[in-house]
Structure 1
Amino acid sequence: MTEQTGSNHALATVFAIVFVDLLGFGILIPVIPLYASAFGANELVVGLLIASYSITQFVFTPILGRLSDERGRRPVLLVSLFGSVLAWTMFGLAESLAVLFLARLLAGAMGGNIATAQAYIADITPPEDRAKGLGLIGAAFGLGFVFGPALGGLVSSDAAIAFSRGLLPTFVPVTQFSLPSFLAAGICAVNLLVAVFALPETRSERPTTEGKSRVERLLNSLSDPALSGLVVSFFLISLALSGMESMFVLFTEQKFGYGTTMNGYVLAYVGIIIAIVQGGFIGRLTDRFGERAIAVTGVSLEFVTLSTLPFSPAIGRLLPTVGPASGGLLALLLVLTPLAVGNGFSNVSLNTLVSKSASDDEQGGAFGITQSAGSIARAIGPVVAGALYAAVAYWIPFVLGGLLMLPICYVLLTTVQAGGRPTPAD
């Protein structure tokens, strides 16, 4: 087997792992808000439940990323996949909000493996192909969100529940909430088995740390103005999108009357667009225009569409019904399509800039820092969005999220050169 063939196989394996991992996660997107509501949770508690995942992800992402630099990528990925199986099983068996929170906290800790997966890609791709490699990871995310919410909506349907009750033992709880959770656990278990037999290690050498603590190394990394600017960007964009995502299902339920199944289909559509952009176009566009231009374009699209999203019901009243699609659905898709394109652009471009700002020995740590910034933002965003949605006005979380894109544009334009390289410190 040639080195190139081995790298291609490794890339395909990581793609499959990330895809299946996100498939299990995506299954529960249309379920979690309504699951929590079934236990009497209001919008604020729903936001807290969603945020709990990101709280432990924030803590564990840099730890897992740095451990993968020191101990290898493979063991970190295997342990995190096993933990995900336990977390989603617990989620399906939950009989109280407290258990839901515990399961989400464990799932979030295991979700810190994303920095390790990104570092794995950086290990096996040269810098000039980094955007393409990370684009495939982004496509795996997108595809996970395509099929995940759709599967979640399908499994939570009345027909699936009736079928499962006749198939599963009576001691297994069968509801519109438990079935998607068990399916997510099963998918993660398959993912773990694949990784055990098909995932090679890429870290043949371990970095020399000269006795420095993890905290000292993280602080040294943040002293780089290019990386610190990207950390700020990750924080702001994650804050904006997490607030939107946490309230989206409640928004569509209240304004459009959509339940878990319809929301699953809408979110699947968004995932298709993201997967097409990240898997099919981002590499060629980056080669032609550079990471900075693509990132700025993506963030600009997100500014416009996030600000417009809460007004899609009013726009829909001006549109005709086309076949089975109502004017409201058409308006929603007209806003979500460029939002998904913008997300595909900004996500891959920002990650590529992070990779180029770090040395080979610091890939896991660098991705860990930026993903941690995203995680703490995702812990804050749903809570703030839930409070604003419930206490002030439903449209505020979306409009504020759009406005947060403006400082990201400023950071990108002032800390990154036109060719996509981080601006060196003076």
Structure 2
Amino acid sequence: MNRNFWIIALISFINSLSFTILIPVLYLYGRQFHLDDFQTSLLFAIYSISQFFATPVIGKFSDRFGRKPLLILSLGGTVLANLLAGTATTAWVLFLARFLDGITGGNAAVAQAVISDVSTPQNRARAFGINGAAFGLGFILGPVVSLLAQKFARYTPLGESFGASFLVSGAIAAIALFLTIFYLPETLQTKAKKAENIFDIGLGNLIDGLFMPKIGILLAINFLTGMTFTLFTFAFQPYFLTILKQNSDALTLMFVTFGTLAVFMQTWGLTRLTRRFPLVQILFLGLFVRSLSFVLMPIWENLFYFVAVCLLFSLFNSIVQPTISALISLNAKPEEQGTVLGLNSSYLSVSNAFGPVIAGLVVNQNNPQSYGYPLYLAGICTFLVLIFAFLKRKSYAVKR
């Protein structure tokens, strides 16, 4: 791994730290504005839907104009959006901020494209694993920083508002923006040809991508796995807080544990798995354990049981996304890396919109037991995705 890889890995870590600071508070922040569960799910969805349309545009422009300017644009949007959300006084401003963050939120896709630029096919899976570990490390520190921000905010005019986490997130994203401007060189060696149609900004690729040989099936798998995962992520917090009767400090500890295990698995674990098994088999393993864990989680309303299942889930869940990203990158041409990885992030984003909305429709605040229903649904759907991925494996597998 060369110097440029470690620079983008550092930027990815800081960016993920900015993102994961919001994970423990977004649901609670929505409730602070008196939004119900379904309305809060729309708060998740507006970010994902806007990101769905924006990411392929940003990805294609990064193939055409370079990685660095698009990464600067994307990170700048994140800084502005989080500062706006942190100072919001009405729900519509919060929704506007989430839309702005989504419409400029292609930084993860561009970072992945940089990784594909500076890594060889032989170490591509390891490179994406390390990048995933950077996100996992952010997952460890992000919730802790968020908790500290809330405690500090009590002594400021913000008081008990969860907006403090958004302000801190914006400040941290500004650090990633600074590193990108002054330390990250341009990594794109072969720029894509200029489009004959100036209005061709990449949205057509959303449909065309599904019909790309090898890539299309992986985009479909990524969309389905993302949708089932966000069924879990939306239901997890109210289930943990309401059914298991835990507080925000315990919730933070859970997120820290998830991040710690993810870093371990995406560095040490994934490296060793790729030496022994093909990527498709690693994907099957991750999907199987994920589906089993989802179904097991709500069976027994016991804290220690739930935590034990979550630990198993976190270990193997963390290998799914890096494996899919590596398969997509290895099946794409060098000059298409930004485009296809942008499509990958875009379909993952829109899947993140469906999951919370479905979960928001399934749960009922007047029936707390319903917070377990999305977990059962996520497990069943993930197992169906596993079957689909297994049946289509010959169309996207790569030789070791």
What TM-score comes out, normalization by structure 1 length? 0.87
User: 1:112: how far off?
Assistant: 2.0
- Per-residue Cα deviation, 1:382-420 (whole angstroms, up to 9, x for no partner): 011011012882222111111121232223223334994
Q: Name the counterpart of 1:161.
A: 153
Query: d(CA) in 2 for partners of 1:84 and 1:219?
Result: 27
Task: Indicate which of 144, 147, 163 corresponds to 2:141.
Answer: 147
CA contact (8 A) 1:156 1:260 kept: no
Question: What do residues 219-243 of structure 1 show as CA deviations (whole Å, max 9, x unaligned)?
Answer: 4443234222111111111111112
Report the alpha carbon displacement of residue 311 of structure 1 after superposing the two structures with TM: 2.7
Question: Structure 1's 351 and 100: CA in aligned 2 closer, same or farther, altered over 3 A?
Answer: same
Once the two structures are superposed, the pairs formed by residues 23-422 of structure 1 within 5 Å of their partners are 23-157=17-151, 160-162=152-154, 164-165=155-156, 173-208=158-193, 211=196, 213=200, 214-215=202-203, 219-313=207-301, 316=302, 328=303, 330-390=304-364, 393-417=370-394, 420-421=397-398
Paired AA for residue 270 in structure 2: I
Deviation by residue 1:66-94 (Cα, 9 ceiling, x = unmatched): 11111100111111111111111111101
Going from structure 1 to structure 2, the CA distance change for 1:69 and 1:297 (only over 3 Å counts) comes to: same
Deviations 1:258-303 (A, max 9, x none): 3333211111111111111112221221121010010000000000
Cα pair 1:303 1:403 within 8 Å, conserved: yes
Q: Which deviations, in whole Å up to 9, do the C-alpha atoms of 1:180-225 show, x marking residues without a partner?
A: 1111111111111111111111113212367374355554443234
8 Å CA contact 1:153, 1:263 repeated in 2: no
Number of residue pairs the alignment of both structures matches:
393
* Distance (Å, rounded) in 1 between the aligned partners of 2:13 and 2:318: 15
Instruction: Go from structure 1 to structure 2 and tell me whether the alpha carbon gap of 1:418 and 1:373 turns closer, same or farther (over 3 Å shift).
Output: closer
Q: Is the 8 A contact 1:218 1:365 kept in 2?
A: no
Which residue pairs with 1:169 in the alignment? none
Identity percentage of aligned residues = 30
- Cα deviation 1:22-69 (Å, max 9, x = unaligned): 111111111111111121111101111111211111111111111111
- How far apart, CA to CA, are the structure 2 residues paired with 1:210 and 1:24? 34
The C-alpha deviation readout for 1:287-339, integer Å capped at 9, x for no partner, is: 210100100000000000111222342xx2xxxxxxxxxxx1x2222111121
Q: Tell me the residue number matched to 1:325.
A: none
TM-score by length of 2: 0.93
CA distance in 1, matches of 2:22, 2:165: 6
The 8 Å contact of residues 210 and 220 in structure 2, kept in 1 or not, is answered as: no
Q: Give how far 1:111 is off.
A: 2.3
Please, which runs of 5 or more residues in structure 2 have no aligned partner? Answer: none
Q: Residues 254, 221 of structure 1: CA spacing in aligned structure 2 closer, same or farther, 3 A cutoff?
A: closer
**Bigger-Rg structure (1/2):** 1
Contact 1:91 1:181 in 2 (8 A): yes
Residues 353-386 of structure 1 show CA distances to partners (whole Å, capped at 9, x for unaligned) of 1011110011111112222111111111101101
Do the aligned residues in 2 keep the contact of 1:292 with 1:417 (CA within 8 Å)?
Answer: no
2:44 and 2:204 mapped to 1: Cα distance? Answer: 31
- Structure 1 gaps of 5+ residues are 1-6, 166-171, 317-327
Rounded Cα–Cα distance in structure 2 between residues aligned with 1:154 and 1:406: 38
CA displacement at 1:347 relative to structure 2:
1.1
Tell me how far apart the structure 2 counterparts of residues 73 and 334 of structure 1 sit (CA, whole Å). Answer: 41
